[in-house]
């Protein structure tokens, strides 16, 4: 049996993990890096390390074995990529407001090998890494949004984000301080699926032989 951290009882450990999974939800409009940008960046770096603890099944046949890639934009780097996307007329609908509110934007991609029996495993592993990233930032008190707008993965956007040749788009992750409940109710775009969750019995089966 896996032991919890020394500071936590097993029950507290389970409650903390369950809470991070259950309480995290999509927050499309955020409040930038918050009152302490240095603390936000430290949390982002720490959460990025946790993203890399996702399981992956086959090592890439190159120096870096993981099948995922994350390109993080904060501060002036975020302003530059936002400006370039604006100038390329890539942002539309709610995307300008989403970029305006982000404290960090992370372009997530994965590396296919052209071997179907492995590529689906690479994609699944990269998605697990992205989920780790979202949960780790939630546990540190920050909001997130995993955006899959196709235009952000097309060639023009990929060039702006610096995505390497041969990588496939996984999504664009937005992180930042959450809005106050009042501001979120007024102008936040909240994910539609959180309230539509169904019990496990609706999508699973339990077999005892």
Encoded tokens for 207 = 């077999």
Q: Which sequence spans correspond to the domains of the chain? A: 26-190
CA 104 to CA 41: how far, in whole Å? 9
- pTM score: 0.92
Please report, for residues 5, 114, 169, the alpha-carbon distance to residue 70 in angstroms, rounded to integers and kept in the order given.
28, 21, 10
Whether residue 66 is predicted with pLDDT greater than 90 in this model: the reply is: yes
Of residues 142, 140, 139, 131, the one with CA closest to residue 170: 131
Residue with tokens 């507290």: 12
Query: Which segment of 32-36, 41-45, 56-60, 90-94 scores lowest on mean pLDDT?
Result: 56-60
Of residues 184, 173, 152, the one with CA closest to residue 70: 173
CA 138 to CA 19: how far, in whole Å? 10
**Residue 69 DSSP label:** E
Confidence of residue 174 (pLDDT cuts 50, 70, 90): very high
Residues with Cβ within 8 Å of 137's Cβ and at least 6 positions away in sequence, in order, are 43, 44, 47, 143, 144, 175
- Say which residue, 181 or 50, is predicted with more confidence: 50
Q: Which fold has domain 26-190?
A: NADH Oxidase (3.40.109)
In the chain, pLDDT over 90 holds for what percent of residues? Answer: 78
Encoded tokens for 71 = 């390109």
CB burial of 79-118 (b: ≥16 within 10 Å; e: otherwise) equals eebbeebeeeebbeeebeebbebbbbbbbbbbbeeeeeee
pLDDT tens, residue by residue, 8-22: 788 898 999 999 999
Residue with tokens 């955020």: 30
Q: How many residues appear in the chain?
A: 209
What are the start-end ranges of the H helices in 24-115?
Answer: 37-51, 75-87, 95-101
Whether residue 107 is predicted with pLDDT greater than 70 in this model: the reply is: yes
Predicted local distance difference test score (pLDDT) of residue 61: 66
In the chain, pLDDT over 70 holds for what percent of residues? Answer: 94
Of residues 46, 174, 171, 47, the one with CA closest to residue 110: 171
Confidence of residue 164 (pLDDT cuts 50, 70, 90): very high
């Amino acid at each position: 049996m896996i032991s919890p951290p020394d500071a936590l009882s097993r029950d507290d450990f389970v409650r903390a993990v369950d809470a991070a999974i259950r309480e995290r939800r999509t927050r499309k409009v955020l409040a930038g890096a918050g009152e302490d940008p240095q603390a936000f960046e430290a949390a982002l770096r720490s959460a990025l390390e946790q993203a890399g603890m996702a399981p992956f099944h086959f090592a890439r046949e190159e120096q870096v074995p993981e099948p995922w890639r994350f390109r993080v934009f904060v501060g002036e780097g975020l302003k530059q990529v936002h400006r370039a996307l604006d100038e390329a007329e890539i942002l539309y609908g709610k995307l300008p407001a989403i970029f305006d509110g982000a404290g960090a934007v992370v372009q997530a991609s994965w590396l296919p090998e052209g071997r179907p029996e492995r590529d689906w495993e690479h994609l699944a592993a990269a998605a697990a890494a992205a989920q780790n990233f979202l949960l780790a930032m939630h546990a540190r008190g920050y909001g997130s949004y995993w955006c899959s707008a196709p235009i952000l993965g097309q060639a023009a956007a990929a060039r702006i984000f610096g995505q390497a040749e041969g990588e496939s788009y996984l999504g664009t992750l937005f992180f930042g301080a959450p809005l106050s409940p009042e501001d979120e109710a007024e102008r936040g775009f909240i994910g539609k699926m959180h309230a539509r969750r169904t019990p496990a019995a609706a999508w699973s089966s339990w077999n005892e032989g």
